[in-house]
């Protein structure tokens, strides 16, 4: 039986048409109409003024943190349960990541712990804490209101990592007289997207920084392109990077932005289809959708309950034997040897992240997934789990 892959992108005729235009006209580097349109349209879709396309989500994070101008030893609060790109962006910019555990329901950062960490840092009175980096996980938004309140209270910057939540929505101000649905990536001071091949919008490899602040936008643009001075090329007062996205890649991305509603509908259908077919299995905890959130199910994750005698590695092997591909959950930053070697997070424990790292995996979730494939995956899940000790 052919393997059902964890991700298969859905590339349409419009992508081919736009890429062909780049090739025919010779606009193949990082200048061209598709870059500009992609930046404008994606920023507008997320409710931000400026979009600065980058070569990946990882480089977008590095440029976004670069915009803050951290001084050595400045601190940024982030979840332990995320990809290493988040921690790297802080470290490469001279900062120190300060971790919080995950919420056991959404797997996103626990906002009560964020407040506790902010208050503990503020008590030190050293002025080192500069920012919070909420990371929306697997398609579900972080509960942003309490984080934005902390930012206002303590004058902190918010770098929103929206790499996994294209089109997800958050009910902002749910306890106020005027609650309003807002798109993720439009909630912080700076936000970041990835357009890697498994994302809802893909350019193969790619990313973007979004902001409403013209100074951050200018800084991100400068960092992206070697910090060339606008009026004196090849003369530099700062160090930058080559984080440029190509017009060819932006052409692919733009074609997808144009059918965003359809992409979200497919993902939400997939989430619902899995939940309907798996909710009777008592050995697994399924993704949630809080009342204040619209989940886009970037990846359909699940966590094995503590009653089940084996872990996610074993489940992955059993599913693989049924020709179903899966991926394990993130391993927390506090468990990363490369970070521990830098004397970070010594003795720190985050029990929720530790548990889901060992007991979580995600099922095939690509945009090309068919109903028949969802059915096959769910039958395999029943076969593997029913009767398991
Ligand atoms: C939350 C998060 N941030 C950043 C990234 C990095 O994106 P990229 O793979 O485009 O470098 C990823 C990648 O999946 C991610 O999941």
Q: What does the domain layout of the chain look like in residue ranges?
A: 13-257, 260-385
d(CA 274, CA 283): 15
Q: What is the 3-state secondary structure (H, E, C) of 95-121?
A: CEEEEECECCCCCCECHHHHHHHHHHH
**β partners of residue 143:** none
209 lines ligand 1 (CB under 6 A): no
Pairwise CA distance, residues 33 & 24, whole Å:
14
CB atoms within 10 A of CB 60: 32
Q: Can you tell me whether residue 90 is helix, strand or coil?
A: helix
Determine if ligand 1 sits within 6 Å of the CB of residue 203: no
Q: Ligand 1 mean position to 329 CA, how many Å?
A: 13
Residue 277 contacts residue 374 (beta carbons within 8 Å): yes
Is any ligand 1 atom within 6 A of the Cβ of residue 7? no
Distance CA 133, CA 147 (A): 9
pLDDT in tens, the chain (389 residues): 899 999 999 999 999 999 999 999 999 999 999 999 999 999 999 999 999 999 999 999 999 999 999 999 999 999 999 999 999 999 999 999 999 999 999 999 999 999 999 999 999 999 999 999 999 999 999 999 999 999 999 999 999 999 999 999 999 999 999 999 999 999 999 999 999 999 999 999 999 999 999 999 999 999 999 999 989 999 999 999 999 999 999 999 999 999 999 999 999 999 999 999 999 999 999 999 999 999 999 999 999 999 999 999 999 999 999 999 999 999 999 999 999 999 999 999 999 999 999 999 999 999 999 999 999 999 999 999 987 66
How far, in Å, from the CA of 126 to the mean position of ligand 1? Answer: 31
CA 199 to ligand 1: nearest atom = 14
Most ligand 1 atoms within 8 A of CB, residue of 135, 164, 249 to mutate: 164
Tell whether ligand 1 has an atom less than 6 A from the beta carbon of residue 160.
Answer: no
**Burial (CB count within 10 angstroms: exposed 0-12, middle 13-18, buried 19+), residue 311:** middle
For 115, residues 6+ apart whose C-beta sits below 8 A from its C-beta are 146, 150
Q: Quote the tokens at residue 270.
A: 């997939």
246 lines ligand 1 (CB under 6 A): no
- Count CB-CB contacts under 10 A for residue 149: 12
Q: Which tokens go with 117?
A: 């960490």
| Ligand 1 binding pocket includes 194 (Cβ within 6 Å) | yes
- For position 389, what pLDDT does the model report? 63
Q: What are phi and psi of 144, to 5 degrees?
A: -80, -30
How far is the C-alpha of 303 from the C-alpha of 355, rounded, in Å? 9
Distance CA 88, CA 74 (A): 14
Distance 297 CA to ligand 1 centre (A): 15
Decide: 324 and 330 in contact? Cβ < 8 Å: no
pLDDT tens digit string along 87-137? 999 999 999 999 999 999 999 999 999 999 999 999 999 999 999 999 999
Hey, which of 59, 134, 185, 196 would you mutate to test ligand 1's pocket, going by the most ligand atoms within 8 Å of its Cβ?
196
Classify domain 13-257 at the CATH topology level: 3.40.640
Q: Do domains 13-257 and 260-385 have the same CATH topology?
A: no
If phi over 0 gives left and psi between -120 and 50 gives alpha, with beta otherwise, what is residue 310?
beta
Residue with CA nearest ligand 1 atom 15: 163
Q: Which of the four CATH numbers 3.90.1150.10, 3.40.50.720, 3.30.465.10, 3.20.20.140 does domain 260-385 have?
A: 3.90.1150.10
d(CA 384, CA 379): 9
The finding on whether 161 has its CB within 6 A of some atom of ligand 1 is yes
Secondary structure (3-state) at 363 = strand
Ligand 1 pocket member 58 (CB < 6 A): yes
Task: Give the model confidence (pLDDT) of 189-206 as tens digits.
Answer: 999 999 999 999 999 999
């Amino acid at each position: 039986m052919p393997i059902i892959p964890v991700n298969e992108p859905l590339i349409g005729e419009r992508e081919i048409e736009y890429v062909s235009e780049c090739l025919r006209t010779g606009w193949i580097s990082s200048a061209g109409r598709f870059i500009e349109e992609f930046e404008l349209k994606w920023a507008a879709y997320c409710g931000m003024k400026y979009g600065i396309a980058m070569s990946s989500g990882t480089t977008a994070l590095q440029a976004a943190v670069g915009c803050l101008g951290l001084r050595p030893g400045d601190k940024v609060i982030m979840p332990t349960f995320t990809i290493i790109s988040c921690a790297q962006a802080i470290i490469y910019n001279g900062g120190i990541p300060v971790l919080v555990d995950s919420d056991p329901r959404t797997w996103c950062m626990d906002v009560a712990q964020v407040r506790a960490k902010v208050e503990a840092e503020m008590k030190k009175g050293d002025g080192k804490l500069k920012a919070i980096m909420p990371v929306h996980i697997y398609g579900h938004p972080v509960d942003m209101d309490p984080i934005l309140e902390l930012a206002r209270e303590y004058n902190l910057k918010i770098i929103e990592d929206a790499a996994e939540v294209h089109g997800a929505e958050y009910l902002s101000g749910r306890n106020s007289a005027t609650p309003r649905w807002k798109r993720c990536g439009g909630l912080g001071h700076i936000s970041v997207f990835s357009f890697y091949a498994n994302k809802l919008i893909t350019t193969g490899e790619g990313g973007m920084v979004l902001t409403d602040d013209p100074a951050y936008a200018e800084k991100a643009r400068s960092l992206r392109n070697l910090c060339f001075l606008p009026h004196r090329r090849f003369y530099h007062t700062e160090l930058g990077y080559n984080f440029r996205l190509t017009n060819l890649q932006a052409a692919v991305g733009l074609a997808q932005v144009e059918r965003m509603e359809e992409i979200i509908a497919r993902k939400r259908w997939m989430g619902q289809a899995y939940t309907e077919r798996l909710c009777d299995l008592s050995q697994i905890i399924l993704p949630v959708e809080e009342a204040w959130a619209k989940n886009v199910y970037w990846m359909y994750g699940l966590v094995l309950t503590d009653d089940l005698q084996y872990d996610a590695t074993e489940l992955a092997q059993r599913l693989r034997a049924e020709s179903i591909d899966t991926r394990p959950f993130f391993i927390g930053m506090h468990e990363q040897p490369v970070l521990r070697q830098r004397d970070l997070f010594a003795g720190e424990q985050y029990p929720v992240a530790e548990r889901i790292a060992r007991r979580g995996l995600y099922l095939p979730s690509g945009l090309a997934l068919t109903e028949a494939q969802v059915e096959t995956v769910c039958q395999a899940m029943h076969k593997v789990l029913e009767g398991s000790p």
